[in-house]
Structure 1
């Protein structure tokens, strides 16, 4: 009786076993494909992270360079401002001590020099210094 039941059920069991094997094979193929996709995505993310780290390092170097340049510029501007203050103080002191120098300091600046100084305040091509156009006597 058992052999009869097994004999009639054997084709069905064999079909179920084959179906189960096909299902497991497809499941394995799907898992392999997902693993490969995840591996590629991880590699891509690592490459992108490396590129972003390099860009970040470059930006940090640029910031350091700019900070250094600005610090040097500030130092030069401070030195120039101190020189101007010292020169102005020296001129005021000279004007207070000597009547002839005070009279000379109170005179108007010659027009050629005045326009030349104004031109110097504007940017010049190539950083060249322009000379006064009219070189008359300094009065």
Structure 2
């Protein structure tokens, strides 16, 4: 699995047409990738809060950058890619990551990122932006 596949799946969720079933396929692909990450987190963290232990590491930062887009997807489409059933440990990791003081000031604001996403999606689909 390549981490860029997660970015591609998130992008596909944003721009895929609902009526053609492409969005559902993109959600399924993202879910499969996150299940693999759940397994990797379980092995790497050894029961601790972050991939490398008790403190945020480079890997946490790299993967944490995808969380902002996950929030946008959740707000735009009501889809939560991390959930208690399929990725419970990754969900806890995300909560710990986003709650960390070092992250709170640098994680993009969901509403601002959503404005960008809406404009991007509108341009990609050839429609006027809603905002």
TM bin, normalised by shorter chain, reads: 0.3 to 0.5
Structure number with higher relative contact order (C-alpha < 8 Å, ≥ 6 residues apart): 2
Tell me the TM-score normalized by structure 1: 0.31
Tell me the TM-score normalized by structure 2: 0.33
The structure in which a higher percent of residues are helix is 1
